[in-house]
Amino acid sequence: MLCCPPPHRGRRDRETDGPDPHNLVTAIAAETGQDEEAALRAAAARFNDGLAAYAERDAALARTRDGSVHAFLATRRNWIRATYDWRSPRPGTAESQTAGKRADETGRPTRVTAAH
């Protein structure tokens, strides 16, 4: 599921076969009747709440002295970063004009804003 897809994605979905059920913004809009901007803000809030919970757990686990936990956390951060990198737009594409920074240099995801 795309928690916070690029803003133009919802417009593209409406212009094709209808809303993508894997797009959280269009799913929220369809379920609640909200417009695209309100649904995007709701999706961003949901993502940020989940991110905050993840960051708290990550920080708590990082305080352990268990090397296998640290290895797991590093792998998890790398997986998250790789997902963001894979999903990030490539230069010269329409998405590259609207994309924000999604992960910091450690691979930890950053908060999403719904402005567009």
- Looking at residue 64, its pLDDT comes to 95
pLDDT tens profile 47-91: 999 989 999 999 999 999 999 999 999 999 999 888 888 877 767
Instruction: Tell me if 27 is assigned to some domain.
Output: yes
**Residue 81's domain spans which residues?**
7-97
Instruction: Tell me if 104 is assigned to some domain.
Output: no
Question: How far are the Cα atoms of 50, 70, 78, 80 from residue 5, in angstroms, in the given order?
Answer: 16, 30, 21, 16
Longest distance between any two alpha carbons in the chain, whole Å:
52
pTM of the model: 0.57
Radius of gyration of the chain (CA): 16
- Looking at residue 87, its pLDDT comes to 75
Place of tokens 């402005």: 115
DSSP state of 94: G
Name 23's bridge partners. Answer: 2
Instruction: Tell me if 41 is assigned to some domain.
Output: yes
pLDDT above 70 coverage of the chain, percent = 61
Number of domains in the chain: 1
Amino acid in the structure at residue 99: A
pLDDT above 90 coverage of the chain, percent = 46
Question: How far are the Cα atoms of 56, 67, 115 from residue 52, in angstroms, in the given order?
Answer: 6, 24, 19
Instruction: Tell me if 114 is assigned to some domain.
Output: no
pLDDT tens profile 21-46: 788 999 999 999 999 999 999 999 99
Per the model's pLDDT, the better-predicted residue between 4 and 83 turns out to be 83
Instruction: Tell me if 107 is assigned to some domain.
Output: no
